[in-house]
A and B are shown apart, each in its own frame.
Chain A
Amino acid sequence: MKFWKKVISVSFLICMLFSTQNFVVAENKSDEEFKAGEVIIEHVLDSYDWHLFTWKGHHVGINLPIIVINEGRIYSFSTKRLHDSATYVTTDKKTGETITFAIPHEGQYKGKVVILGADGSQKRPLDISITKNVMALFISCTLIIVLFYLVMKAYQKRGEKAPKGLQSLIEWLIVYVRDDIARKAISEKCVDRYLPYLVTVFFFIFINNLLGLIPIFPFGANITGNIAVTAVLALFTFFITNLLGNKEYYKDIFNTPGVPWFLKFPLPLMPIIETVGCFTKPFVLAVRLFANITAGHIVVLGFISSIFIVAKISMAGGVGMSVFSLILAIFVDVIEILVAYIQAYVFTLLSALYFGMASKEHHH
């Protein structure tokens, strides 16, 4: 019995190691060339449907709804209607005329839903579709909420007893954020105001980074590698810093102490520099997270694509290449797990530092 337990656990471990691969499915029908650049960019960007795999030339995926608002009226339809460059013709709900939706393949609105005018003009409506990243956000946020609900229940049930199981894993991370990130950066008096946001953002970024590495269906969407998501997180930090900053903080921006008067009076050079710095800090937060995660995904996808590129030249070379590529891709995937944690840590630490600087008391 112990022997079979060992066999099962070792094979499970091997499966887990190999499960951190992002398998690239070549979308070629018959003998089309494998364009590595396009495949990689496709896997990293957002899309209107969730492509699972290609079965005998058929594209198998989940067709997510497209929801657009044109001049106050909502139209929603499935992505299936816009497959293979088809157009979707429906009647305008107010004027009764026909209205045509399509996804153009080139031009300014390449890859996005537009309304085709009679003369071929393209107009982009307000697009609130459920895209792949939105769907993945729903799934991962449900997962996070369930996780924390279970931990909360465990605390209620066990009271003052030692934590057990899932609770001990999450508690370790929360205490780490509270003691080594928040309390080191923010003064004792004000920590409790900022702590819920810091814990939330840490777990959101960490769990979404990790889920983006798993290639199986409900996960595997590049959420934190989407500049819109990271920009929103950075905006939250920006608003919390500036709305809860005290007078000390604003005095340091507009009337920096210890700086000679001629840098402030006729041409307010110092306030301009400080204000620009105030805006670049959240911008840098957003781009750092986005670039790190996207670059990691591109590297792994590049390794796997190199197998297909070499296989086009010679099948035997492809088989040999796949051994090296898989080893390298596993190595990079393990680094990506580390990067997932480090990026969450750096984002949370920098947010805590900005909060600390904004709520610092003046020392005499």
Chain B
Amino acid sequence: MSLLVVLQEVTKAATDLAPLAKLGAAIAASIAVIGAAMGISKIGASALESMARQPEAAGNIQTSMILAAAFVEGVSLFAVVVCLLVAVG
């Protein structure tokens, strides 16, 4: 009985949850940034290590590193776009 009352109250107050949605969007965006930062730092670290092992291949490695970093960043920007949509709509 009391659970039903609680649920009714929650659905009545559902329109008041907009600030919570914005908080959720902000937290989600920062989690996405953490993922991107971890990915790109792994890419950078392995690129630097392999450039140190074989300096002749430095040009190739640098190009591949920038390419891979652009992909990882693209994925995190999907999350940012979704968060923007939630925060302003």
Q: In the complex the two chains form, is A292's CB within 8 Å of B67's CB?
A: no
Partner of B73 from the list A41, A290, A292, A349 (CB cut-off 8 Å) is A292
Give Cα distance in the complex from A291 to B66, angstroms: 17
Query: Digit string of A151-170 for contact with B (CB within 8 Å is 1, else 0)?
Result: 00000000000000000000
Determine whether A310 belongs to the interface, using a CB cutoff of 8 Å to chain B: no
Does residue A346 face the partner (Cβ distance < 8 Å to B)?
yes
Q: Are B88 and A287 in contact (CB under 8 A)?
A: no
Q: How long is the Cα–Cα vector from A38 to B76 in the complex, in angstroms?
A: 24
Number of inter-chain CB pairs below 8 Å: 31
Chain B residue nearest to A184 (CB atoms) is B63
Q: Which residues of A contact B80 (CB under 8 A)?
A: 291, 295
- Chain B interface residue number, banded: 10 to 19
> What count of chain A residues pass the 8 Å CB interface test?
15
Partner of A291, one of B67, B71, B77, B88: B77
Q: Is B81 interfacial (CB-CB < 8 Å)?
A: yes
A41 in contact with B88 (CB, 8 Å): yes
Interface of B is mostly: helix
Q: Is A343 at the interface (CB under 8 A from chain B)?
A: yes
Using an 8 Å CB-CB cutoff, how does the interface string of B57-89 with A read, 1 for contact, 0 for none? 000000100110011011001101100000010
A284 to B74, CA, bound (A): 8
| Distance between Cα atoms of A37 and B22 in the complex (Å) | 13
> Across chains A and B, which 9 residue pairs bring their CB atoms closest together, nearest first?
A291-B77, A288-B74, A346-B70, A291-B81, A342-B70, A292-B77, A295-B77, A295-B80, A287-B78
A-side residues, CB < 8 A to B, are 37, 41, 180, 284, 287-288, 290-292, 295, 342-343, 345-346, 349
A-B contact pairs, 27 of them (CB 8 A): A41-B88, A180-B63, A284-B74, A287-B74, A287-B77, A287-B78, A287-B81, A288-B70, A288-B74, A288-B77, A291-B74, A291-B77, A291-B78, A291-B80, A292-B73, A292-B74, A292-B77, A295-B77, A295-B80, A342-B66, A342-B70, A345-B66, A346-B67, A346-B70, A346-B71, A346-B74, A349-B67
